[in-house]
């Protein structure tokens, strides 16, 4: 009996130490990944239809109804994009990374009418995504992305979204949301937010943000970061949540 007990203990320890690798392997399987995506889709719709959802700034969506728009939200709040699609029939494309998380998010967004452009952090991959995104905007279709994704720093704007806006002339529509009942995964770099059913949810859409053809990218970045950071802090304050700290770039040693 003692030997059996020791074997069980060793098996539990082995599973615990390798849980991340096991989950990574399982989610790499197309069937498991698809099942997980449809479960999340069902949960998102359940949250949306059982909650009291308040939209502010909705007029900003109507202002740009017949024009291509770049929807932008922080990576930690990207699950609000399907809610925008449900409410305003905002169809289009979203940029997703080739990572496991990116593939899963792409599958979650598809039933809401959001197709995916898969990018990578490499230079050639980034150029391909820029070309694809500009073509989509030129065709009059919408584009969505997370300015701080896919790896952060948290709530810091990368160049990509600014070049899309600058080269296409399309406005950026910053979106943020918070809820009175939500869980923030603080161990993650993006402080990922998961809203619970039967919540009070506040979704805010900011004024269209334009990047001038001759505007310096760093100046545009500072302006957009200010708008989006203050927007996130504003919706959190509605429910008495403290300001989330802005991430700092990693210093190479």
Give dist(CA 157, CA 159) in Å, integer: 7
Q: What pLDDT is stored for residue 237 in this prediction?
A: 97
Q: What pLDDT is stored for residue 203 in this prediction?
A: 97
Give dist(CA 161, CA 69) in Å, integer: 11
Backbone angles phi, psi at 31, to 5 degrees: -65, -50
Give dist(CA 183, CA 40) in Å, integer: 15
3-state secondary structure the chain: CHHHHHHHHHHHHHHHHCHHHHHHHHHHCHHHHHHHHHHHHHHHHHHHHHCEEEEECCHHHHHCCCCCCEEECCHHHHHHHHHHHHHHCCCEEEEEECCHHHHHHHHHHHHHCEEEEEECCCHHHHHHHHHHHHHHHHCCCCEEECCCCCCCCCCCCCHHHHHHHHHHCCCEEEEEEEECCEEEECCCCCCEEEECCCCEEEEEECCCECCCCCCCHHHHHHHHHHHHHHHHHHHHHCCCCCCCCCCCCCCCC
Q: What pLDDT is stored for residue 15 in this prediction?
A: 46
Torsional sign, CA 191, 89, 97, 209: negative
Q: Which residue has the tokens 């859409």?
A: 205
Neighbours of 39 (CB within 10 A): 11
Q: What pLDDT is stored for residue 29 in this prediction?
A: 66
Q: What pLDDT is stored for residue 18 in this prediction?
A: 58
Do residues 171 and 209 make contact, with C-beta atoms less than 8 angstroms apart? Answer: yes
pLDDT tens-digit profile of 188-203? 899 999 999 999 999 9
Q: Which residues fall within 8 angstroms of residue 146, CB to CB, at 6 or more apart? A: 72, 73, 74, 75, 78, 95
pLDDT tens-digit profile of 70-127? 999 999 999 898 899 888 888 899 988 777 777 888 888 999 999 988 765 556 667 8
Chain centroid, CA 97 distance in Å = 11
Q: Which fold has domain 29-237?
A: Cobalt-precorrin-4 Transmethylase; domain 1 (3.40.1010)
Bridge partners of residue 172, in order along the sequence: 70, 209
Average confidence (pLDDT) per 10 residues, the chain, 253 residues = 54 51 59 84 94 94 89 94 88 82 84 84 73 94 92 94 96 97 90 95 97 96 98 97 84 44
């Amino acid at each position: 009996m003692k030997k059996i007990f020791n074997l069980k203990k060793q098996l539990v320890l082995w599973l615990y130490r390798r849980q991340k690798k096991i989950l990574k392997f399982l989610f790499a399987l197309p069937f498991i990944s698809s099942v997980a995506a449809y479960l999340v889709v069902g949960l998102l719709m359940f949250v949306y239809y059982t909650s009291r959802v308040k939209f502010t700034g909705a007029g900003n969506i109507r202002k740009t109804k017949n024009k291509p728009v770049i929807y932008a939200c922080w990576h930690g709040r990207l699950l609000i994009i399907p809610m925008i699609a449900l409410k305003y029939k905002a169809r289009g494309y979203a940029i997703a990374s080739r990572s496991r998380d990116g593939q899963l998010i792409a599958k979650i967004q598809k039933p809401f009418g959001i197709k995916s452009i898969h990018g990578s952090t490499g230079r050639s991959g980034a150029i391909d995504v820029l070309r694809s995104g500009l073509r989509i905007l030129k065709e009059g279709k919408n584009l969505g992305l997370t300015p701080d994704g896919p790896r952060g720093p948290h709530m810091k704007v990368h160049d990509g979204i600014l070049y899309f806006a600058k080269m296409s002339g399309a406005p950026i529509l910053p979106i943020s949301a918070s809820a009175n009942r939500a869980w923030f995964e603080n161990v993650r770099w993006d402080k990922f937010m998961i809203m619970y059913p039967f919540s009070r949810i506040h979704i805010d859409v900011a004024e269209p943000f334009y990047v001038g053809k001759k505007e310096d990218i760093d100046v545009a970045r500072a302006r957009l970061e200010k708008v989006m950071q203050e927007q996130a802090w504003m919706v959190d304050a509605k429910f008495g949540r403290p300001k989330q700290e802005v991430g700092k770039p990693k210093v190479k040693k």
